[in-house]
């Protein structure tokens, strides 16, 4: 399929290019020491991960440990309450550890093992990526250092406990605002000293090349399964697909299965409390081109051009940029990016729980809210939503902040 001069038959061969660019976005903007480490990972990824041994081991792990393939569920009651459109969800909430993040963490940790590394290093904000990586590290017997801001450590006690139970070393970062940005800086700093024995495992399709392409490829299992399952269930492709976009990993993997199909694709960013800078994290909608955390993309900036403070009720979505591939697909128009605010996400959280018996993560609830809105507008056909994770982690917060309905 040709779309705006880009041939999607050959898209995965041509994007990113060998330097990690999706058009003008992506690349690698890091210090020379870190670049040496990135080159090592790039070389290893494009040789080891294409070997049949690696692929079959990862396939076995996905089946026997992660519980893949995850099913697609038809939302019969919710669809019936809307009209004639059929809504479906791809159940990444049923992936072991409760979200899609394990898809790339198992890939990254298996790569670490093949490279002879003994440790994985990462940052975490809300703790979801830290928990997924700690799970993978325990499985492979790797050491695991997770850098986390002191403020986040206080806020996310259950995830800190999970990481520690899984054997990870949670390192408190006390610089600056003591949240995600400082944790990223501290983790990169540690990695530049330890890269002989360790590999850095990024939590989304972000960071310098090769992470955006590598994480996308590890997540592509979601899109490949979903396409085949949906056709198996209905005999045709969905009319539209929807996923939430924080950094963009669940969306990138899910979308990759449908880019070359006549399917409308929607990426949903968090509008939080509204369109004022600081009240949302909708970087593709309101941001401009810039470089942060080692890559060029579209980002939200403050007056000085630094990454702006962002907000969403979904902590997994509050990042001031999105992966370079999303910036590329945004400019191209192949994916339509739109926004959903806190209140609509919470309504969808309750709707899915009450009408289908599925408690979604509040990140995923943004995609569900948009899927419902789209279904009302379309009036016919089918919409497939990626349910990136389960909402157990969010229940206390939702009840405290929004009340039981």
Ligand X SMILES: *Cc1c(COP(=O)(O)O)cnc(C)c1O
Among 58, 87, 99, 300, the residue binding ligand X under the rule CB under 6 A is 99
Q: Binding to ligand X (CB under 6 A): which residues in 127-166?
A: 128
Active-site residues, by number, are 101, 123, 388
Residue 109 near residue 137, CB atoms below 8 Å = yes
- φ and ψ at 340, to 5 degrees? -135, 135
Q: Should residue 281 be labelled a site residue for ligand X when binding is judged by CB under 6 A? A: no
Please state, in angstroms and rounded to a whole number, the distance separating the CA atoms of residues 36 and 39.
5
Q: Applying CB under 6 A, which part among 23-31, 249-257, 302-310, 341-349 lies near ligand X? A: 249-257
Parallel, antiparallel or unpaired: strands 240-244 and 198-200: unpaired
C-beta closer to ligand X: residue 85 or 134 = 134
**Nearest-approach distance from CB 76 to ligand X, in angstroms:** 23
Binding mask 186-225 for ligand X (x = CB under 6 A): ------------------x---------------------
**Nearest-approach distance from CB 2 to ligand X, in angstroms:** 28
- Closest by CA to 214, choosing from 323, 316, 301, is 323
Token pair of 404, please? 């039981």
Q: Binding to ligand X (CB under 6 A): which residues in 385-404?
A: 388-389
- Give DSSP secondary structure letters for 23-69: TTEE-----HHHHHHHHHHHHHHHHHTTSHHHHHHHHHHIIIII-PS
What angle, rounded to 10 degrees, do the helices at 101-114 and 128-140 form? 40
Q: Applying CB under 6 A, which part among 18-26, 31-39, 166-174, 248-256 lies near ligand X? A: 248-256
Residues contacting ligand X: total by CB under 6 A: 19
Q: Applying CB under 6 A, which part among 240-248, 351-359, 369-377, 396-404 lies near ligand X? A: 240-248
**Nearest-approach distance from CB 9 to ligand X, in angstroms:** 26
User: What number of H helices and E strands is found in the chain?
Assistant: 16, 16
**Nearest-approach distance from CB 300 to ligand X, in angstroms:** 15
Among 178, 179, 321, 364, the residue binding ligand X under the rule CB under 6 A is 364
What angle, rounded to 10 degrees, do the helices at 211-234 and 249-256 form? 50
Residue 317 near residue 269, CB atoms below 8 Å = yes
Q: Would you tell me which residues interact with ligand X (CB under 6 A)?
A: 99, 101, 128, 204, 244-251, 316-317, 361, 363-364, 388-389
């Amino acid at each position: 399929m040709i779309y705006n001069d880009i041939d999607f038959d050959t898209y995965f061969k041509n994007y990113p290019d060998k330097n990690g660019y999706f058009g003008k976005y992506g690349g690698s903007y890091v210090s020379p020491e870190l670049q040496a480490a990135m080159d090592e990972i790039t070389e290893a990824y494009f040789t080891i991960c294409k070997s049949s041994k690696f692929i079959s081991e990862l396939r076995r792990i996905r089946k026997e440990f992660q519980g893949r393939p995850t099913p697609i569920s038809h939302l019969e009651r919710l669809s019936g309450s809307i009209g004639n459109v059929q809504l479906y969800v791809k159940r990444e909430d049923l992936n072991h550890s409760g979200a899609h993040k394990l898809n790339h963490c198992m890939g990254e940790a298996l790569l670490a093992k093949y490279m002879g590394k003994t440790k994985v290093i990462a940052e975490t904000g809300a703790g979801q990526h830290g928990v997924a990586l700690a799970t993978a590290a325990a499985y492979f017997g790797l050491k695991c250092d997770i850098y986390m801001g002191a403020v986040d450590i206080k806020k996310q006690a259950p995830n800190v406990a999970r990481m520690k139970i899984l054997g990870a070393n949670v390192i408190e970062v006390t610089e600056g605002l003591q949240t995600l940005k400082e944790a990223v800086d501290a983790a990169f700093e540690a990695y530049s000293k330890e890269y002989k024995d360790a590999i850095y495992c990024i939590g989304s399709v972000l960071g310098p090349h090769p992470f955006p392409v590598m994480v996308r490829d590890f997540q592509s299992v979601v899109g490949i399964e979903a396409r085949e399952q949906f056709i198996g269930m209905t005999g045709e492709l969905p009319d539209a697909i929807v996923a939430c976009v924080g950094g963009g990993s669940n969306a990138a993997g899910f979308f990759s299965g449908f880019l070359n199909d006549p399917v409308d694709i929607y990426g949903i960013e968090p509008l939080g409390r509204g369109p004022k800078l600081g009240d949302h994290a909708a970087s593709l909608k309101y941001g401009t081109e810039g470089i942060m955390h080692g890559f060029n993309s579209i980002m939200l900036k403050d007056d000085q051009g630094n990454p702006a403070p962002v907000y969403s009720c979904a902590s997994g979505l509050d990042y001031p940029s999105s992966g370079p591939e999303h910036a590329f697909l945004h400019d191209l128009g192949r994916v339509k990016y739109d926004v959903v605010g806190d209140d609509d996400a919470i309504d969808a959280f309750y709707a899915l729980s009450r009408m289908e018996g599925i408690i979604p993560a509040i990140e995923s609830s943004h995609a569900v809210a948009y899927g419902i809105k789209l279904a009302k507008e379309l009036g016919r056909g089918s919409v497939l939503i990626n349910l990136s994770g389960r909402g157990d982690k969010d229940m206390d917060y939702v009840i405290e902040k929004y009340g039981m309905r």
